[in-house]
Structure 1
Amino acid sequence: MYFSNLLLNIKDKYSIYLNEDEINKIKNKFTETSISKSEKICSMNEIIDHLYFINSGIVRGYIIDGNSEKTTWFANEGDFFTNAFSFLTGLPSREEIEALENCSLYSIRKNDLDYLYLEIPKLNMLGRKIWEHYYIKLENQMQSQKLKTVKLKYDKFILDHSEIFSRVKLSHIASYLGITNETLSRIRGNYNGSKN
């Protein structure tokens, strides 16, 4: 469908240039998938052996704590995602991943990715850059959690996630920030009121 978006992302975001033969090898290993809104992409205790690229849509990772879901991360167009723990260790996932919108994804199995690393050595750089990007997002999230006030957490969320802010349910944002829906509504009300 839109495999060119994946290739453009590899070139523009990660500065990796591929020739026609390399592109064909990559195309043969990626699978296009459409996921409906609210559909689970992975479940807790499942072993995840796919890396995904988001062509369109938003996904979130979350854990289940008692009767509540706690959002741990978001990913959107142009992002790669997986359950890193399961993907890298081969052990069961500790989180769920679901589509927050209808999504167009490309996925590649870990063994196919490892094969491409051998066949196209410059893709090792892509792998490194994907994990660097993942680590930066994780560090931003951890720093956000340490902020002293809820307003600072909210401001950081808007700064870090401006492209998805209006597309994600407030309950998911609240759980990501570690606050109640009511607290988030109050902050948003104060925030919007101070802009007028």
Structure 2
Amino acid sequence: MQPNLIFQAVVSKLEQFQPLSKHLQDALLPLLSELRVPKGQILIRSGERSSRLWFLYEGFAREISHDEASERTTWFFSPNDFLFAYPSFFSQLPAFRDIEIISDSILVELSFRNLILMRRDFEELVGLVDVARDYCEMERARFVSMRDALSAQDRYDRYYADHKQLFNFAKHKDIANLLGIKADGLRRYNH
């Protein structure tokens, strides 16, 4: 993959929130690192402080919560998503969920330190980060609202329509877990 295409994907995602000046783009490029991450790797574990923000260029990941003796999938990340220990990356508190890569993936990485330095030098980045973070939180709130309001069949249908490719990589029991559907009953919702 060409670094220019990957960098352009990051810029395109950020410009969904607000336009970026050429000066900011030029300063951002040398601070980004491309990573190839194999399936099964944990990016961050619960209890660790996250020092990195990632952009998922290619692949899929899941967020995992540990409740007493059980593990629960709380979110899936798809291409063009930002991955961060929610919400602890921005507060620099220990993460309370793991992030696991579930398919061989290409990520773009930015350190928290470089993000803070850039926020100091580029006032436009302050608002951009806030808008992007709010958007991610709004997506989560919208998902919870959908999950609470719809029947199991409707939850499955809507999620499948929006995330068809994910079903090729994620374990169906993890998707069922996220949707609040019994894992052994997920097959009945398939079309």
The reply to whether TM is greater than 0.5 is yes
Runs of 4+ in 1 over 4 A off after TM superposition: none
For the residues of structure 2 that align with 1:67 and 1:102, how far apart are their CA atoms? 28
| Mean CA deviation greater in 151-160 or 42-51 | 151-160
For the residues of structure 1 that align with 2:91 and 2:18, how far apart are their CA atoms? 28
Runs (5+) with no aligned partner, structure 1 = none
Do the aligned partners of residues 148 and 14 (structure 1) sit closer, same or farther apart at CA in structure 2, a change above 3 Å counting? closer
Do the aligned partners of residues 89 and 22 (structure 1) sit closer, same or farther apart at CA in structure 2, a change above 3 Å counting? closer
2:28 equivalent in structure 1: 26
For the residues of structure 2 that align with 1:171 and 1:111, how far apart are their CA atoms? 37
Aligned residues: 187
1:121 equivalent in structure 2: 123
TM-score normalised by length of structure 1:
0.85
Do the aligned partners of residues 128 and 159 (structure 1) sit closer, same or farther apart at CA in structure 2, a change above 3 Å counting? farther
The letter of the residue matching 1:85 is P
1:105 equivalent in structure 2: 107
Q: Is the 8 A contact 2:86 2:97 kept in 1?
A: no
The letter of the residue matching 2:30 is N
| Structure-to-structure mapping, 1:1-196, within 5 angstroms | 1=3, 2-11=6-15, 13-19=16-22, 21-147=23-149, 149-188=151-190, 192=191
Deviation string 1:67-109 (CA, Å, 9 cap, x unpaired) is: 4321111111111120123213222111110111111111112
Q: Is the 8 A contact 1:69 1:175 kept in 2?
A: no
For the residues of structure 1 that align with 2:131 and 2:92, how far apart are their CA atoms? 21
Runs (5+) with no aligned partner, structure 2 = none
Q: Is the 8 A contact 2:48 2:94 kept in 1?
A: yes
Identity across matched positions, percent? 21
TM-score normalised by length of structure 2:
0.87
DSSP-derived class of the 1:84 partner: coil
How many Å apart are 1:160 and its aligned residue? 4.0
For the residues of structure 2 that align with 1:23 and 1:120, how far apart are their CA atoms? 11
RMSD of aligned alpha carbons: 1.9
Do the aligned partners of residues 43 and 24 (structure 1) sit closer, same or farther apart at CA in structure 2, a change above 3 Å counting? same
Q: Is the 8 A contact 1:80 1:130 kept in 2?
A: no
Deviation string 1:93-151 (CA, Å, 9 cap, x unpaired) is: 11110111111111112221121112122222321221122112111221133135311
